[in-house]
């Protein structure tokens, strides 16, 4: 992974074998960024996609492997009152299944880079979006206090 800051925006390049979410969180920690949004594209080898099942109160996870075109990545990073980092990320991947082109998308647990990933990280300027726990879903949401 490599990254550079231009103005308020940070550009991250993920390399073969890098885990994208980990890279984004690492840059946030190094740069002292407590809340941000990000987007990106790339060529990936594995993705762990989750879907929240309300009746079960849990996520169902599917792992995709192979040549995955990351056609859309969007997410946010924030911290809680203790300074722990969290992400909320969604992505869409296109891939071949035999002769058919397929698409899979959802909440992301992890993504591994095959060739490259190009991520644009935009820190929140002039404020800080915290994370608050939601007991109904067992997850966290933005706290816009």
pLDDT by 10-residue block (mean), the chain, 145 residues = 97 98 98 97 97 84 97 96 93 95 96 98 94 80 84
Which helix (DSSP H) or strand (DSSP E) does residue 17 occupy?
A: none
Please give the pLDDT value at position 134: 80
How many CB atoms are closer than 10 A to CB 89?
Answer: 21
Rounded CA gap, 130 and 145, in Å? 8
Fold (CATH) for 2-143 = 60s Ribosomal Protein L30; Chain: A; (3.30.1330)
pLDDT of residue 73: 98
What pLDDT is recorded for position 139?
A: 78
Rounded to two decimals, the pTM is: 0.92
Residue 27 CB-density burial (10 A; 0-12 exposed, 13-18 middle, 19+ buried): buried
């Amino acid at each position: 992974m490599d990254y550079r800051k231009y103005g308020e925006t940070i550009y991250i390049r993920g390399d073969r074998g890098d885990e994208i979410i980990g890279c984004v969180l690492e840059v946030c920690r190094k740069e002292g960024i407590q809340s941000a949004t990000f987007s990106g594209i790339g060529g990936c080898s594995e993705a762990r996609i989750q879907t929240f099942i309300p009746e079960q109160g849990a996520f169902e996870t599917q792992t995709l492997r192979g040549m995955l075109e990351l056609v859309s990545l969007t997410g946010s990073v924030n911290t809680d009152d203790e300074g722990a980092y969290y992400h909320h990320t969604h992505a869409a991947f296109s891939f071949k299944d035999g002769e058919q082109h397929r698409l899979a998308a959802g909440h992301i647990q992890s993504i591994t880079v095959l060739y490259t990933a190009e991520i644009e990280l935009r820190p929140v300027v002039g404020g800080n979006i915290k994370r608050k726990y939601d007991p109904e879903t067992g997850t966290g949401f933005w706290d816009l206090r």
